[in-house]
Amino acid sequence: MPEAKSGSKLLFEGPEWSFALLEKARDAIEEIALNDLGLNLYQNQIEIISSEQMLDAYSCVGLPLMYQHWSFGKHFARDEALYRSGRQGLAYEIVINSNPCISYNMEENTMAMQVLVMAHAAFGHNHFFKNNYLFLQWTDADGIQDYLAFAKNYIAACEERYGIDAVEEILDAGHALQTQGVFRYGRPPKPTSQELAAMQRVRDGYAGSRSLLDIWTDATLGHDSAETPKDAPLAARRKSMNLPQENILYFLEKHSPVLEPWQRELLRIVRMLAQYFYPQKQTKVMNEGCATFVHYHIINELFSQGRLSEAAYLEMMHSHTNVVLQPDFDDPRYSGINPYALGFAMMMDIRRICEEPTEEDRDWFPDIAGHDDWRHVLRHAWANYRDESFIQQFLSPHLMRKFKLFTLVDDASQKDLVVSQIHNRAGYKAIRQDLAQQYNLAYLEPDIQVTDADLSGDRCLILTHTVRDGIHLDEANKEEVLKHLRRLWGYEVTLDAVETVVES
């Protein structure tokens, strides 16, 4: 624990917070965030909410402006039951990747917690959102609030016009395909001018869109009038529909023969939100690691400046310690690797490698070992990596020993589980590779693509699941999702599994 210096005054005393104290604390945090850590931040908008409102926000994937759907009500019923029976606490905050960066703090937090939470969310996450390449490339922080408002109103209007059931049918199907509703590798194909015109008409109003109903004359299909899809060979078909297509929702939105314009717009909304959340799914470890490192650094800095009382400092440390707890694999509390624990440990480790590198570190990280500015190294990492590549690049042998990581192989052809690697010289590289793979969404989520759809023939939609390592889809769920797919496509849908050759 750093020694507290006397001199400058405490930011606050006692557990009660007030808006004046929050302002004062925020200024002190910002001072450190900007001038010490050199963070690059969106403007902050910090909202104080009650626990009831937190429960509300919880059930709507953290977005209070989310449209209405029964599944959020179901999550609310479950969260509420867990919360009321005391089996689950509530988050101290929720932060939204938007500009200005909106974070929600609970009113029940003590002043010390408000400071911790502010440093964590309004500065740590905020910096990450604004600087990480995934968020910059794939999300529109300026527009998300407006888009959510549009989506909510649009869906409410559709419910009024077409009935809750009709809207629910499309949203249910869209939600089922959410993980298949993102572009993983490339940007979406640019819409043609005809498509742009059609989209414009759709947005202009329902009435104008009626003429788009007939898919066979619909420009959104993307056929040039010169093309004759009837005789076009498979290659031409695939070209015109951008096949194979990994983004199934995008494909259905553009090419389904049965959907009406408003239904396409609903799919588009679901798809846009899935894409908006995709970077967050890929950066759990880094995002939490960054935010936890930032709050840890800031409160220690505040304490050493003598601006926090020991009581407040201890309360923050207590909470911090809980958050970064990593139970062992055989601990009853174990439920996977804690992204806060791993992320925070890696950030601290990078700083250690910069400041006090060992011989081993110099071998493994020649670029950063002994680097004179750890802040720069961290900011660079936060901006340019996602979990998979970050672990691949920065997980050090030191940390693997500290976490005592080992790899367990579960091969269906073997009777037992086998320990294939442990934290020793022979195992470091392989463990790092395996752990990185564990955060590779493209590997974790099934690889399913639209491979063919013969609109002029039997109109059967053909999907292909590329099976890796012999891991197949969950059967019961697969059948249910296929039912949804058939509803959206209007005709038969088949899903073929293709095994890939196992590399040895």
Partner 1 sequence: MHHFIDRRANPKGKSHGNRQRFLRRARENIKDRVDRSVRDKSIQDGEAVPVDGEQVTIPARGLQEPRFFHGSKGGNRRHVLPGNKEFVVGDTLPKPKGGAGQNGREASEDGEGEDEFSFTLTQDEYLEILFDGLELPDLVEKSSVETETIGTRRAGLTTVGTPNNLNLVRTMRNALGRRIALHRPSRRAEEELQSEIEMLEALPNRSDAQEELLAEMCARLERLQRKRKMVGYIDPIDLRFDTHVPEKVRKSRAVVFCLMDVSGSMQDREKDLGKRFFLLLHLFLARCYEQTELVFIRHTHHAQEVDEETFFYARETGGTIVSTALDKMREIITDRYPPQEWNIYGAQVSDGENFGNDSVRCKKLLLEDLLPVCQYYAYIEVVEEDAEDLLQDLSVGDDLWQNYRAVKDQTEHFAMQRVAHAAHIYPIFREFFLPRLKGGQNA
**For residues 366-385, which are near partner 1 according to CB under 8 A?**
none
Letters for 322-341 (x = contact with partner 1 by CB under 8 A, - = none) are ----xxxxxx--xxxx----
Beta carbon of residue 56, minimum distance to partner 1 (angstroms, whole number): 4
CA–CA gap between residue 489 and residue 171 (Å, rounded): 14
Q: In angstroms, give the least distance from the CB of 287 to partner 1.
A: 20
Residue corresponding to tokens 């409102």: 53
Both structure tokens of 28? 């002190």
Contact 111, 12 (CB under 8 A): yes
Stretch that binds partner 1, among 60-68, 143-151, 208-216, 368-376 (CB under 8 A): 60-68
Footprint of partner 1 on residues 269-328 (CB under 8 A)? 311, 314-315, 318, 326-328
State in angstroms the smallest separation of the CB of 446 from partner 1.
5
Site for partner 1 in 337-366 (CB under 8 A): 337
**Which of 204-212, 255-263, 289-297, 444-452 is the region at the interface with partner 1 (rule: CB under 8 A)?**
444-452
Indicate which single residue of 435, 450, 461, 493 sits in contact with partner 1 (rule: CB under 8 A).
435
For residue 102, which of 64, 61, 52 has the smallest C-alpha distance?
A: 64
| Binding residues for partner 1 restricted to 177-236, rule: CB under 8 A | 177-180
Smallest separation (angstroms) from partner 1 to the CB of 32: 15
- Residue choice 31, 61, 68, 150 for contact with partner 1 (CB under 8 A): 68
434 binds partner 1 (CB under 8 A): yes
Total residues interacting with partner 1, rule: CB under 8 A: 109
Of positions 2, 36, 47, 196, contacts partner 1 by CB under 8 A: 47
Tell me the per-residue interface mask from 125 to 164 with partner 1, x by CB under 8 A, - otherwise: ---------------------------------------x
| Contact between 77 and partner 1 per CB under 8 A | yes
User: For partner 1, which stretch binds (CB under 8 A), given 2-10, 22-30, 183-191, 211-219?
Assistant: 22-30
CA distance 122 to 29: 10
Residue 76, both tokens: 């609310």
Minimal distance in Å, beta carbon 88 to partner 1?
12
Contact between 501 and partner 1 (CB under 8 A)? no
C-alpha angle 206-208-211 in degrees, rounded to nearest 5: 105
SS3 state at 492: coil
Of the pair 175, 375, the CB lying nearest partner 1 is at 175
The correct pick among 24, 31, 136, 168 for binding partner 1 (CB under 8 A) is: 168
Per CB under 8 A, the list member of 11, 37, 44, 115 interacting with partner 1 is 44
For partner 1, the closer of residues 72 and 150 by Cβ is 72
Answer for the pair 30, 123: CB distance below 8 angstroms, yes or no: yes
The nearest distance, CB 222 to partner 1, in angstroms, is: 25
- Touching partner 1, residues 447-476 (CB under 8 A): 448, 465, 469-476
Task: Please give the DSSP secondary-structure letter assigned to residue 455.
Answer: T
91 makes contact with partner 1 (CB under 8 A)? no
Sequence-ordered list of residues with C-beta below 8 angstroms from that of 24, at least 6 positions apart, any chain: 11, 12
Q: Which residues does residue 216 pair with via DSSP β-bridges, in sequence order?
A: none
Strand order from edge to edge, sheet including 493-499:
447-453, 461-467, 493-499
- Residue 470 backbone class (left: φ over 0; alpha: ψ -120 to 50; beta: rest): left
The radius of gyration computed from the CA coordinates of the chain, to the nearest angstrom, equals 26
Which one of 100, 229, 306, 490 is in contact with partner 1 (CB under 8 A)? 100
Closest CB to partner 1 among residues 18, 211: 18
Helix (H) or strand (E) holding 464: strand 461-467
Cis amide prior to 100 (ω within 30 degrees)? yes
| Stretch binding partner 1 (CB under 8 A), from 206-214, 260-268, 416-424, 451-459 | 416-424
Total residue count of the chain as it appears in this document? 504
Q: Binding to partner 1 (CB under 8 A): which residues in 108-127?
A: 108
Q: Which region among 290-298, 358-366, 368-376, 420-428 touches partner 1 (by CB under 8 A)?
A: 420-428
**Alpha-helical runs (H) found in 283-338:** 284-304, 310-323
Q: Is 76 in the site for partner 1 (CB under 8 A)?
A: yes
β partners of residue 44? 101
What contacts 40, CB < 8 A, 6 or more positions away? 127, 130, 131
Nearer CB in complex with partner 1: 229/327: 327
Q: CA torsion angle for 192, 198, 200, 201 (degrees, to 10)?
A: 170
Q: Is 301 exposed, middle or buried (0-12, 13-18, 19+ CB in 10 A)?
A: buried
Contact 428, 397 (CB under 8 A): yes
